[in-house]
Amino acid sequence: MKEALLWEKLDDGRVICQLCNHFCTIAQSHTGICKVRQNQEGELVSLNYGKLIAAHIDPIEKKPLFHFLPGSHSYSIAAPGCNFRCAWCQNWDISQLNKANHPSRLAYTQPEAIVEAALNSGCESISYTYTEPTIFYEYVLDVSKLAKQAGLKNVLVSNGYMSDAMLDEYIPYLDAINVDIKAFDEKIHRKYTGAKLEPVLSNCKRLKKAGVWLEITTLLIPGINDDQAQVEGIAEFVATELGTDTPWHISRYFPQTQFQEREATPPVTILSAMKTGKAKGLQYVYAGNLGKGEDTYCPQCGKRLVSRSSVWLMENKIVDNLCPDCQTKIAGVWSGDGE
């Protein structure tokens, strides 16, 4: 356990957690929505500091980040817990806290060990992923500081629900992020995630403005968030608020053990959503879990610049951040030195 960051003590022994936009008020001996931040005698502590439930070496394209250090590997870690309750969560067995994955059952890993492992494995970045990185923020911050010193990049794969205070503190260490916009209807977003939509959108705009490399993902679930109004809403938001050069990944859903209410997303739904994104002016729209629609084309001349097979880079023709045929600048971070 470690004392948590970003909280306030109340006179009656309760505390207010200020890490994410839930702003949980937590009574003594209780936890917040994430279940991994507990009020212990008027002090908020992180129960999952350094208690990793996953650590893998992934291609950066798996995050998914298609315009950030393509072809590189990212040392990817997660601690258990989440501040959302997505009905269709594809990592539910580690993100939704239970007796089997409780932090008390997990070994402690020092932050220095993560950086050392990333360097020894030839990774160019460390990704905080699989679960929601906001809820193990204290550990993320400590590892990120060491990673920066070692010349590694820091990557979040997030639901985007962090507080302003957390972003104030963490943005200087953050290089890239993929934010999952899970729906574009407030009622649907609250019903299926337990969280509001507006803070996610606001944080996306703030991250983009701050210069953090940003890509957006939407998992389309039949009958929930795949209607034309929501698809058009997300596409227009990305194009007008984040910029037409912001990549949008549209992923196909497959039924999960705990959520059998919907069938797999029909491929035609993904292809239709891609067309909508392009019609709204988005230059880089990608399919996920479809087996095609993963390549990058020059938005000016149409040349195929980056070829991918699922999460594997096959070929990259971009030279000095430019299309080799027409010299159009291709948005992204194509080398460790930046854009």
Q: What is the pLDDT of residues 234-273, one digit of tens each?
A: 999 999 999 999 999 999 999 877 788 889 999 999 999 9
The packing angle between helices 228-237 and 267-279, to 10°, is 40
pLDDT per residue as tens digits for the range 20-32: 999 999 999 999 9
Phi, psi of 114, deg, nearest 5: -70, -45
Q: Where are the alpha helices (DSSP H) in 150-256?
A: 164-170, 186-193, 198-209, 228-237
H-helix or E-strand containing 287?
Answer: strand 285-288
Q: Which domains does the chain have, with CATH numbers?
A: 2-46 (no CATH), 54-292 (3.20.20.70), 295-339 (no CATH)
Cβ burial 295-310 (10 Å sphere, 16+ → b, else e): ebebbeeeeebbebee
- pLDDT of 40 > 80? The answer is yes
pTM of the model: 0.97
Residue 87, C-beta contacts closer than 8 angstroms, at least 6 positions apart: 192, 258, 259, 261
